[in-house]
Each structure stands twice: as C-alpha cells, then as structure tokens.
Amino acid sequence: MLFGTAGVAQAFAPVGAHPLTVGALRLSIGALALCLFVLARGGSLPSIVRPLGTRAGVLAAAGAAAYQPFFFAGVQRAGVPLGTLVAVGSAPIFTGLLSWAWRRERPSTSWAFATAVCVVGLALLTGAGAEGGSLDGIALTAGAGLSIACYTLAAKSLLNAGADAIGVCASAFLLGSLVVVPFALAQGVGWALTAGGALIAAYLGVATMGVANILYTRGLSGLAAPTAATLGLADPVTATALGVLVLGQQVPPLGWLGFLGVVLGLLLQGVWAARAGGSGRLPLG
C-alpha cells in the first residue's frame, strides 16, 4: 500500500520535476534510509555491500535500477493506463514463470487463479486498450515488469542463502542508484532543493522505498516469490483509492468493478497462501 502512495506524492512535486529524476532520487534516498536502518539495528557496512559480490546480488541491483527508466519511458510511449497495466500486471506473471524455470518452483493452481483475477481486474481498473499504445512502449513497460520479477527472485535467492533481508534490499538499491543517478542529474534536480520538493523527495525515498521495502522484504522472507509479487498488486488499488480521495480523479463504473476484482484476487491469494503455510515459509528471525 505504501508503494501505491508514490504516484499521488509525485503529483505534488514542483513544476519541472522530471519523472526520471523523481525516480532516481526516490531510489537513492530509499537506499540511504535502508542503510541507516541496517546500521542502527547493529549491522555493519560489510553486511550491506557483501551481497553485491554475488550473481544474485548483481541481478537484484540490476532489476532495481532498470525498473525506473523502463517504466517511465514506457508509460511516456504507451500511455499511463496501458503502461501501468503491462508493467504492474506482468510482474507477477514473469515472477511465476522465472521461478518455475530458475528455482524449479512450479506455480500452484491457486496462485495462477488469484493472479488471473487480479490482472483482469487491473485491466478493467486502468481502462487499458491497445489504442494509443505503441509497441515499443508496451515492450518497455513489459521490461519494467521483468525488472520487478528479477529483483524479487534474486532477493529471494539471497534470503534463502542466509543473507540479511534488509541488507539485500539496501545493497541492491545502492548499486541501482549508481546507475540511474547520473542520468537523472542531466535532467536537473533544482526542484528538489526547494522546501516542497525536498519534502516530496524525502517522503518518496523514506516511506515509499525505505519503509515499504522493509515490510516487503520481511514478507518475502516468509512467502514464495510469485505469491509476494501478486500481493504487490495492492499498489494500483491504493493508488486508485488515493487518486479519487486526494486528487479528485474519476473512476467509471467498469473501473470500480475492476477495483473490486483486484481486491478479490488479493484476498484469495492471501487466504490460500496462509493455508499453505506461506508456500515456502522461512523463519523471520
């Protein structure tokens, strides 16, 4: 749900805040917040950077970094509704398929059904359609969904190997920041130096990346990667509700039907995962 507040917060950013710059600052401030959290609870700098020396750590960082340019460039070409549907809706599907191919974890029928309900609901909610969406935009936003899947699976692999959950997230975001920040600086960050801009940047980084990923990573420790990815679809549900309540956006009746469909899919996934003991539950420590 915290992920879903990012779009509303970005709407209050000062004029001139380029989406790539917003995404880069969100990622880098989130990385800093996570590192401070690890150090505050007794961790060390080596424990944060250690995952970067593994293939899974590099893959997690690549996924975290690649999501920002893929998503923002794809939405610009495909449009917000279709781009959001492809990026967010494809993430759990890619996660399930890659988990099957990479980790030999065959997706369950219940997961497939709940995910299908969520994706169909998301399609109705966004009002997505092929019109106005270029093929390259669709491909880019699909790349954003694949980026989420790669991060989720790589992080899960590190967790299974005994790595510190929050340290994995912090290291991935640190390396990802090094990749995207230079491109963001070229767009200018003057808006973030104003009082309002600094407040928005801080909220996006600390709340929607720092706190949100602490909760998500803790949850990922006790769930199968595909299940966690599907539950992440609470993001667009939250964004829609806040868009209506805070920004005064309008949702047509068919969109509200889709909203309820996503909620139903999330409830089904949560109940079935709980009955299955988390589908790969590990002790949270």
How do residues 131-158 score in pLDDT, each as one tens digit? 445 778 888 888 988 998 998 888 888 8
More confident: 192 or 122:
192
How do residues 253-272 score in pLDDT, each as one tens digit? 887 888 888 888 888 888 87
Q: Domain ranges in the chain?
A: 3-275
Average pLDDT, integer, range 213-237:
81
Query: In this structure, which long-range contacts are made by residues 155-162, counting pairs with CB atoms below 8 Å and at least 24 apart in sequence?
Result: 155/56, 155/60, 155/217, 155/220, 156/103, 156/220, 156/224, 156/225, 156/228, 157/56, 157/103, 158/51, 158/54, 158/56, 158/57, 158/60, 159/217, 159/220, 159/221, 159/282, 160/282, 161/56
